[in-house]
Amino acid sequence: SDKSSTDAGSGNASSGTAGDTAGQAVATDLKYPLSQTIPTLDPHLSLGGSNATVVLNVFEGLFAFNSKYEPVPMLAESYELSADGKTYTFLLRKGVKFHNGKEMKAEDVAASLNRWKDKAARAKSSFGDSQFAVQDDYTVVLNLKNPQNDTLAQLSHVLNFAGIMPKEVIDSAAPEGVNAYIGTGPFKIVEWKKDQYVHVTKFEQYQSLKTAADGFSGKKEALVNNIYFTLATDNATRFSSFLSKDFPYVDVSLDNLPKVQNQPDVQILKNLTTDFNLVFNKKSPLFSNVKNRQAVAAVLDADQILLGIVSTPDLYRLNPSYMYKENSKFYSEAGKENYNQKNPDKAKQLLKDAGYNGQVVTLLTTKDTGNFYNATLMVKDQLEKIGVKTKIDIYDYATMLTKRADPNVWDIYVGPFTMPSTPSQLLYLNPTYGFADDAKLAELLKKSTSAIKPEEIKAANDALQQYQWEYLAAVKIGDTYSYSAVRKNLTGLTLFSGFPNLANTKLLK
């Protein structure tokens, strides 16, 4: 809608290019805002948000996403997949140095990935007991029980990131995380002042790929010497700091947008950030009955809910698929007739059939972060319009997490989900998250990940999504964007689902 903003439908947004500024004086230090506290910098435990902002610039995996969510080799030179799709052989790049100066070898990779696989729920459910094994110094082998078409995506995904660390670090790790943060990325950690800032500095011995930079893949060159990831939890403070040129980048709320929108030295970026889903508690008395779930799906008006979340039509899009459109491998429109139905009559009928008689539906949410609450409020409103009694239980984030793990205290949870890239990463298809308990669903999920050929994948994925729209583990609501602002003297910044790739980023004076 506005010319100054760069629409990055792909989930990527970039500011300027690094090339056209040669000759200008550059700053050596950069301050980058963090909006939430960081519990840990252990990449395997990292949960997105502020963690990923730092972690993705310090650690690297065997693969990395490009802007189209395609896994591209990063620390892997190449890989081979056996014909049965069960054995992956990863060849590692040679001469890659850890921040401690040691060269990365297969033993490091195997140790890292085996630990990661145990820590990340999504990896565990994909790989089960399969182990990454050292074949020789530069070769790691993974033997799977079944084919897993999401293997590379899992290795690239930014949450519970499969970063490679030295074996010693892995071996000495405690349950609460590794004791040293040593990766292979273009920046190395100098100091982590808890709850204040993370100071990283250019890693001089970084071995960059020569391929073009794209998303988190390709060439990475540290163009600033120091980055201070600075915690500023207050919206207004972050924004004021941007206005006073303290931060060259900031997330911009709708309310703040006009203040930066037409500034000549500010570029507005629009990032695809999250998709919203309504998750049922399939063990709750009400929503163990699929009819009730269908009733909810029938009444939802996605436009209104999304508008309620972001307050402007510019910042959302409808999307019937559990995957982003950009994710060509898994995007599917199967079952879309059940999306955004806006059909109260049908809903009422379904409720009647299911024997609903005024039980209170508990909506679990938090106001601490994200737009959980806005979305929940809109859903509540729509449910009440068809005569469903509702109650919103708001807790702080920590309490909310614990409550959500308890099947007895909630019915519906509406929340944002960060960048699913394969169906196996959809938390709500997981029995622990919303307590889905359906053999067919599990079967279809398995099929969709074990298919190998693109047509098979497509067919399996269509079937999975079709069934989900009937089983309704969750209801997809839509995708949302957010604005951020970048000073034009900050060039080459790449944002991927809101996470910055600060390599190749240059700050002009």
Partner 1 sequence: MGTYIMKRLLALLPVIVIMSVVVFLIIYLIPGDPARVMLGDGADEETIRQLRGQMGLDLPLVEQYLRWVGGALRGDLGNSFFLKQPVSEAIAEHLQPTVSLALLAELVALAIAVPFGIRAAVRRGQFADKALTAYSLLGITIPGFLLSLFLVLLFAVRLRWLPVSGYAPLSDGLWNFLQYLILPAVSIGVVISAVIARIVRSSVLEVLNEPYVRTARSKGVSERALVYKHVLRNALIPILTVVGGTFGTLMAGAAVVETIFNIPGIGQMLVHSVERRDYAVIQGLVLFIAFVYVAVNLIVDLLYAAVDPRIRLGK
Partner 2 sequence: MTEIASDARVAERSTLAGSQRRLFYRRLLANKAAMAGIALIVLLAVVSLFAPWIAARDPQDVDIVKRLTPPSPGHWFGTDNFGRDVFSRVVYGTKISAEVGFAVALAVSAFGLVIGLYSAMYKWLDQLLMRFMDGLYAFPAVLLAIAIMAALGPNAGNLIVCLIVVFVPSVARVVRSAALVAREQTYIEAMRALGASHTRIVWLHIMPNTLSPLIVQGSFVFAEAIIVEAALSFLGAGIPAPTPSLGNLLSDGKMFIYNSWWMTLFPGLALMVSVLAMNLFGDGVRDLLDPHTRQARKGKSRQ
Residue 118 CB, nearest distance to partner 1 (Å)? Answer: 7
* Amino acid identity at 323: M
Contact between 131 and partner 1 by CB under 8 A: the answer reads no
* Closer of 353 and 396 to partner 1 (Cβ): 396
Report phi then psi at 171, rounded to 5.
-65, -30
CA angle 270/335/414 to nearest 5° reads: 55
Q: Which does 217 bind (CB under 5 to 8 A by kind): partner 1, partner 2, none?
A: none
Selected binder of partner 1 within 2, 136, 176, 265 (CB under 8 A): 176
Positions touching partner 2 (CB under 8 A) are: 235-236, 253-256, 258-259, 304, 307-308, 311, 366-368, 373-374, 377-378, 380-381, 392-396, 399
Q: Which does 255 bind (CB under 5 to 8 A by kind): partner 2, partner 1, none?
A: partner 2
Q: Could you give the dihedral angle defined by the CA atoms of residues 416, 418, 421 and 425, in that order, rounded to the nearest 10 degrees?
A: -80
* Closer of 133 and 401 to partner 1 (Cβ): 401
Residue 103, number of CB atoms within 10 A of its CB: 17
Contact between 180 and partner 1 by CB under 8 A: the answer reads no
Show the binding pattern over residues 356-375: x = contacts partner 1 (CB under 8 A), - = does not: ------------x-------
Q: In angstroms, what CA-CA distances link 223 with 26, 192, 266? A: 9, 21, 20
DSSP 111: H
Q: Which residues does residue 395 pair with via DSSP β-bridges, in sequence order? A: 366
Selected binder of partner 1 within 399, 452, 459, 470 (CB under 8 A): 399
Contact between 345 and partner 1 by CB under 8 A: the answer reads no
Three-class SS state of 392:
strand
Integer Cα distance of 118 and 456 in angstroms:
29
**Residue whose C-alpha is closest to residue 44's, from 36, 33, 52:** 52
Cβ–Cβ < 8 Å for 77, 93: yes
Contact between 195 and partner 1 by CB under 8 A: the answer reads yes
* Closer of 318 and 394 to partner 2 (Cβ): 394
Contact between 393 and partner 1 by CB under 8 A: the answer reads no
* Closer of 17 and 402 to partner 1 (Cβ): 402
* Closer of 133 and 254 to partner 2 (Cβ): 254
* Residues in Cβ contact with 451 at an 8 Å cutoff, skipping those fewer than 6 apart: 147, 149, 457, 459, 460, 461
Contact between 328 and partner 1 by CB under 8 A: the answer reads no
Contact between 129 and partner 1 by CB under 8 A: the answer reads no
Enumerate the H helices of 386-428 as residue ranges. 397-404
Q: At 233, list the tokens.
A: 């939890």
Piece in contact with partner 1 (CB under 8 A), picked from 120-128, 211-219, 348-356, 483-491: 120-128
Q: Which does 35 bind (CB under 5 to 8 A by kind): partner 1, partner 2, none?
A: none
Selected binder of partner 1 within 6, 233, 359, 390 (CB under 8 A): 233
Cβ–Cβ < 8 Å for 329, 457: yes
- How does strand 494-496 pair with strand 499-501? antiparallel
Contact between 405 and partner 1 by CB under 8 A: the answer reads yes
Q: Which does 46 bind (CB under 5 to 8 A by kind): partner 2, partner 1, none?
A: partner 1
- Count of residues making up the chain: 509
What is 157-206 written as a DSSP string?
A: -TTTT-----HHHHHT-BTTB-SS----SSEEEEEEETTTEEEEEE-TT-
Integer Cα distance of 300 and 294 in angstroms:
10
Piece in contact with partner 1 (CB under 8 A), picked from 35-43, 324-332, 379-387, 501-509: 35-43
- Size of the residue set binding partner 1 (CB under 8 A): 47
Show the binding pattern over residues 145-164: x = contacts partner 1 (CB under 8 A), - = does not: --------------xx----
Contact between 232 and partner 1 by CB under 8 A: the answer reads yes
Q: At 354, list the tokens.
A: 């299911």
Q: Under the rule (CB under 8 A), what is the footprint of partner 1?
A: 37, 39-40, 45-48, 118-122, 124, 159-160, 174-177, 193-196, 230-234, 236-237, 240-241, 243-244, 246, 368, 395-399, 401-403, 405, 427, 432
